[in-house]
Structure 1
Amino acid sequence: MSFTDAARTCLTSKFATFSGRARRAEYWWFSLLYMGAAAVIGGVSFAIEAPLFSIFLLPLIVPMLSVSVRRLHDTGKSGRRMLIALIPAVGPIVYLLGMTVDGTPGTNEYGPSPKAAAQPVG
């Protein structure tokens, strides 16, 4: 999945879809988009001394949460596992390491593997 495919998927067809699974590429490309938007909006907000940060990043929170939950589903974990990031100091590290793990092959309780669906047959 390319950067544009991930952005298109997360911002349109799966904007608030918390079911199913998401590949690592979809999660990390959308995370890159989110962090890039945060950096640009944060810089502009700082430069003009206006509270733009929360206003313009608010619409990206729902797709970021949904792709994170779907990514956890791909590894066979519940979306509630995201709450581990709230543990001070260690939580965010454990959470990010969990997002780097390869998804479970085949079908798990959250649906078929998106990796298998993306591979050509034959």
Structure 2
Amino acid sequence: MGFVEAVKTCYGPKYARFSGRAARSEYWYFMLSHVLVLLCWLGLAVALFLPALDRVLPQFFDVAVSLAMLAIFIVTILKGTEGRNRFGPDPLATRAREEIFA
């Protein structure tokens, strides 16, 4: 089974059918098609992201914001670890709020 035939088979008569068997070539060609699609999407994302980054960074530098300050800003908007850690209970957990603000 060739590449095109495997992809047509998987998206055609065998679409969402979870019974039966598949040839090894059918499986690997289908997986290859997914990898190729993923690489295309990744390439498109990079192609769109780099020009945007190229325009944004000079704007940060124009207002005297360094890359370190930009990194600190990014860290502040990231979600913290869930549950208790070495700094104390999770402030977003319901029970922890009662402990912190009691």
TM-score, structure 1 normalization: 0.39
Q: Which has the higher contact order (CA 8 A, sep 6+)?
A: 1
TM-score, structure 2 normalization: 0.46
Say which one has the larger Rg: 2
